[in-house]
Amino acid sequence: MKKVAFSSVPEQASIYIDGTPIEDYELADKFREECLSSDGKVICDKDTLHDDWLITKKLSRIWWLLTDEERNNVAGFVIRGWLFFSIRYVREGEKDCKGGTGSWKPAVCGHNAAIRYLRLGEGEKHYDEISHCYWSMDKETEYCYWTESYDLPVYLCSVFTAGPGFGHGVCAFQIKKDPKDFSSWRFFQYTSDDIKPGHGQMPCDWEGKTIHIRIDNPINMFCGGYTFKKIVQWYIDKETCEPVPE
């Protein structure tokens, strides 16, 4: 294999390839060496991935330098590795994660999706908005909505019918670069790591009504909701159960 050596003048100047610092390409190679097999599957353990690549934001930094298959494999590992269960209760309380004080309420899909987004996506920027929001599995041990975030391309997603009918919140993990391509996204919620049309959380239709799928980039977040900018939207063809751009 031929190798190309780069040097800069002055020595501390950054070298960019297609707008990306050359150091990021080196970091991507290091990630492959430490955490991926030759066929792109994750081989490092959960603690190593978390401590060296997720919490440091290094994985988010090199995300788009990985291949589609590598990104899909890593996304699956991350989805299954963190918050891969159904959160049961939520409540409000003191700011800065100093403890909940309100009554516990049953957590619904929107709460579950928001908490996953805050962990896997760019959650830290919403800390001041949701530092008084808490979740629990047993009403005894509680956690702040935000504890840490990984800055991966994870967003909130609504699956719904127009008007009364079906409404459900999930998360969407961007795997490929074109956001308008439905296959660029991996949808997940609770213990389902790869939701597709026809799944109970993304039905082909609901009592004859058309199902719509909208991916949202949150602007402001609250304990029980959010404002957003739409990224992309589809509807599901009732005959073929295939997504169609809107």
Which amino acid would we find at residue 82? W
Task: State the pTM of this model.
Answer: 0.93
pLDDT at 229: 98
Q: 141 falls in which pLDDT band (50, 70, 90)?
A: very high
Q: What number is the average pLDDT over the span 35-61? A: 98
What's the distance, Cα to Cα, between the start and end of the chain in Å? 46
Q: 20 falls in which pLDDT band (50, 70, 90)?
A: confident
Helices (H), 36-166: 46-48, 58-62, 68-81, 109-120, 127-130
Q: What number is the average pLDDT over the span 58-83? A: 98
Find, among 219, 245, 242, 243, the residue nearest to 230 by Cα: 219
pLDDT at 126: 98
pLDDT at 1: 42
Q: Is the pLDDT of residue 5 over 90?
A: no
Higher pLDDT: 116 or 6? It is 116
Which residue do the tokens 């050596």 mark? 5
pLDDT at 29: 98
Q: 180 falls in which pLDDT band (50, 70, 90)?
A: very high
Q: What number is the average pLDDT over the span 131-156? A: 98
Q: 21 falls in which pLDDT band (50, 70, 90)?
A: confident
Q: Is the pLDDT of residue 6 over 60?
A: no
Element (H, E) at 213: strand 212-222
Q: 11 falls in which pLDDT band (50, 70, 90)?
A: low
Q: Is the pLDDT of residue 41 over 70?
A: yes
**CA 86, CA 108: separation in Å to the nearest integer?**
9
**Number of C-alpha atoms within 13 angstroms, CB side, residue 78?**
35
Q: Tell the burial category of 209 from Cβ atoms under 10 Å away from its Cβ (0-12, 13-18, 19+).
A: middle
3-state SS record for 15-44 = CEECCEEHHHHHHHHHHHHHHECCCCCECC
Mean pLDDT of the chain: 95
Q: Is the pLDDT of residue 18 over 80?
A: no
Q: What number is the average pLDDT over the span 93-101? A: 98
Lowest mean pLDDT among 11-20, 154-163, 167-176, 231-240: 11-20
